[in-house]
Amino acid sequence: MAEIDLEIVKTDGYEVVVGRHSLANLAELLSSELYSGVKIFILADENTLQACMPVLMGKVPQLSEAEVVEISAGEESKDLEVCAQIWSALGELGGDRSSLMINLGGGVVSDLGGFIAGAFKRGIRFINVPTSLLAQVDASIGGKVGVNLGGLKNEVGLFRNPESVFVDPEFLKSLPRNQLLSGFAEMIKHALISDPQYWEDLKQVSFYDLASLDASILHSIRIKNQIVTSDPFESGRRKLLNFGHTIGHAVESNSFEGDSRALLHGEAVALGMVCESFISHKLGLLSKEELNDIASFIFSHYPKIKIDELKIHRILELIKHDKKNVDGEIRMTLINEIGDGVYDQKIGVDLIVESLYYYERWAN
Ligand SMILES: NC(=O)c1ccc[n+]([C@@H]2O[C@H](COP(=O)([O-])OP(=O)(O)OC[C@H]3O[C@@H](n4cnc5c(N)ncnc54)[C@H](O)[C@@H]3O)[C@@H](O)[C@H]2O)c1
Ligand SMILES: [Zn+2]
């Protein structure tokens, strides 16, 4: 499949510009009256500073005068202490209410940068230039920004839209393979909850030919955008995006607690999608054939995660504390069939345990 040069996805009040020429539009925008004389900050982490900044500067020379603010790579940077340091730095560097923040990085940079911009001087404009696959298809759109607090993910945050988002797949060429797969899990999710043809298309994607991803990136952005614009504050349909995440989040949090390897978000979500597909099947929704299709596709791409008895106990505890539960009952998004999600399904703990055993059996 071919590279995409330029496509525009319109969302509630802003545009997502997608393709290998998308940054030319950013260059044009920054040369316009809207940004004349405006102080520009670029937020990047140590990796995106090294791998992505040269690409950005090459395509958007207007940014040569921008102030670069660097953070350490990783989830630890989504922290109020880091925000405080950056707010002070913005003030010292002459930031004012007309300033612009450009978030160059993965989901950590867009979540943190959006939050910093959303609160600095009661809110300055920001633009996302997502560089990880996960941020391109998921984190940089939808308006959720925020940081972690006391070990709780995204505990403090806002709904705040960027001025625009520029998605250039060229950035992915420096992204490590495991990070590519992490983002790919969200694309699989998009297919499973809403688009059976897309599920077939994803089977044709090759990570050895990154251009084959372009069309899927665009398609995933369209799906996520369509869902979030139909339900911006997650009172209904947006919950579809939680598929794979009830069990996935718990397994991800659990992996941070022990001394085994911390899982990437998408790796845990891939496990979660296998388990939640199994639950969908057990409840008479998803057919056995489709469950097999999903599990074998996911196991062909993702490393197998070991789950022992001890972990299952802890994972259940974490699921019971999920903020999406209602009156102590576990609510989950399931699928009726491939391409058709259904949210707010009440689930018993036994079925979750059974699904983890199902995963274990496949994994061995
Ligand atoms: N706001 C939302 O709607 C939303 C949705 C999903 C996830 N998130 C958040 O996103 C975060 C995860 O995002 P992520 O997976 O992008 O993590 P991340 O930002 O930590 O990026 C992953 C790693 O890849 C590196 N990297 C990024 N782009 C690169 C490139 N082009 N070349 C080389 N290295 C590169 C980063 O430095 C980092 O080490 C989590 O904090 C999660 O909560 C938010
Ligand atoms: Zn996710």
How confident is the model over 216-249, as pLDDT tens digits? 999 999 999 999 999 988 999 999 999 999 999 9
Question: What is each CA distance from 198 to 86, 210, 254, 275, 302, in whole angstroms?
Answer: 40, 17, 31, 21, 19
Identify the nearest ligand to the CA of 144 by its number.
Answer: 1
Per-residue confidence (pLDDT) for residue 216, from 0 to 100:
97
Q: What percent of the chain has pLDDT over 90?
A: 87
Are residues 137 and 113 in contact, defined by beta-carbon separation less than 8 angstroms?
A: no
Does 212 share its domain with 320?
Answer: yes
Q: Which residues lie below 8 Å from residue 274, measured CB to CB, with a gap of 6+? A: 294, 295, 298, 299, 355, 358, 359, 362
pLDDT at 308 over 90: no
Mutation to probe ligand 1, out of 42, 148, 179 (largest number of atoms < 8 A from CB): 179
Asked if the model's pLDDT at residue 96 lies above 70, the reply is yes
Kindly report the CATH number assigned to the domain that includes residue 208.
Answer: 1.20.1090.10
The number of beta carbons lying within 10 Å of the beta carbon of residue 361 is: 8
* Domain-terminating residue out of 174, 191, 212: 174
Assess whether pLDDT exceeds 80 at residue 259: no
- Give mean pLDDT, residues 88-97: 98
Looking at the structure, do residues 216 and 302 belong to the same domain, yes or no? yes
Sign of the dihedral through C-alpha 272, 342, 219, 162: negative
Beta bridge mates, 129: 104
Centroid of chain to Cα 16: 15
Residues 161 and 290 in one domain: no
Examine the pLDDT at 326 and tell me if it is beyond 80. no
Q: Which ligand is nearest to the CA of 189?
A: 2
CATH number of the domain where residue 40 is located: 3.40.50.1970
Residue 105 beta carbon below 6 angstroms from any ligand 1 atom: yes
- Phi, psi values for residue 280, rounded to 5°: -60, -40
Q: Is the pLDDT of residue 52 over 70?
A: yes
Evaluate whether residue 153 is within a structural domain. Answer: yes
**Three-state secondary structure call for residue 86:** helix
Give the mean model confidence (pLDDT) for residues 170-184. Answer: 97
The predicted structure's pLDDT at residue 322: 77
Residue 309 has pLDDT above 80, yes or no: no
Q: Which of 129, 150, 174 is the last residue of a domain?
A: 174
User: Ligand 1: which residue has its CA nearest to atom 6?
Assistant: 139
Strands (E) in the chain, as ranges, are 7-10, 15-18, 40-45, 67-71, 100-105, 125-130, 144-149, 152-159, 164-167, 330-337, 340-347
Q: Are residues 142 and 203 in the same domain?
A: no
- Ligand 1 pocket member 130 (CB < 6 A): no
Residue 307 in tokens:
């789950």
Task: Report yes or no on 27 lying in a domain.
Answer: yes
The answer to whether the CB of 165 is under 6 A from ligand 1 is no
Same domain flag for 185 and 160: no
154 and 289 share one domain: no
20 C-alpha to center of ligand 2: Å?
A: 25
**pLDDT of res. 185:** 98
Q: Does a structural domain hold residue 248?
A: yes
Same domain, 112 and 143: yes
Q: Do both 196 and 170 map to the same domain?
A: no
**pLDDT at position 364:** 62
Tokens describing residue 155: 């505990």
Q: Is 118 in the pocket of ligand 1 (CB under 6 A)?
A: no
Rounded Cα gap, residues 255 and 245, in angstroms = 14
Residues 82 and 169 in one domain: yes
Q: Tens digit of pLDDT for each residue in 339-364?
A: 999 999 999 999 999 999 999 998 56
Residue whose Cα lies nearest atom 5 of ligand 1: it is 139
Return the amino acid letter for 177: R
**Residue-level pLDDT at 324:** 75
Average pLDDT, the chain: 95
Contact (CB, 8 A) for 248 and 271: yes
Helix, strand, coil abundance in the chain, percent, nearest 5: 55, 20, 25
Q: What is the pLDDT of residue 72?
A: 98
> Which of 139, 174, 209 represents a domain boundary (last residue)?
174
Distances (CA, A) of 203 to 175, 248, 281, 301: 21, 22, 22, 11
Best residue for ligand 1 mutational test, from 108, 168, 264 (most atoms within 8 Å of Cβ): 108
Q: 107 CB less than 6 Å from ligand 1?
A: yes
Does 255 lie in the same domain as 107? no
Query: The domain containing residue 38 runs over which residues?
Result: 7-174
Of 327 and 318, more confident: 318
- Residue 175 predicted with pLDDT over 70: yes
Query: Confidence band (pLDDT; 50, 70, 90) for 180?
Result: very high
Whether residue 170 is contained in a domain is answered as yes
pLDDT, tens digit, 9 for 90 and up, residues 184-216: 999 999 999 999 999 999 999 988 899 999 999
Contact 207, 251 (CB under 8 A): no
| Domains of the chain: total | 2
Q: Can you tell me the mean pLDDT for 101-107?
A: 98
Q: Whose CA is nearest to atom 39 of ligand 1?
A: 73
| Residue 350 and residue 201 share a domain | yes
pLDDT tens profile 107-166: 999 999 999 999 999 999 999 999 999 999 999 999 999 999 987 888 999 999 999 999
Residue 261 per-residue DSSP state: P
Whether 133 and 264 share a structural domain: no
Contact 223, 194 (CB under 8 A): yes
In a domain, 1, yes or no: no
Q: Would residue 2 count as lying in a domain?
A: no
At residue 32, the pLDDT reads: 95
Q: Residue 294: inside a domain, yes or no? A: yes
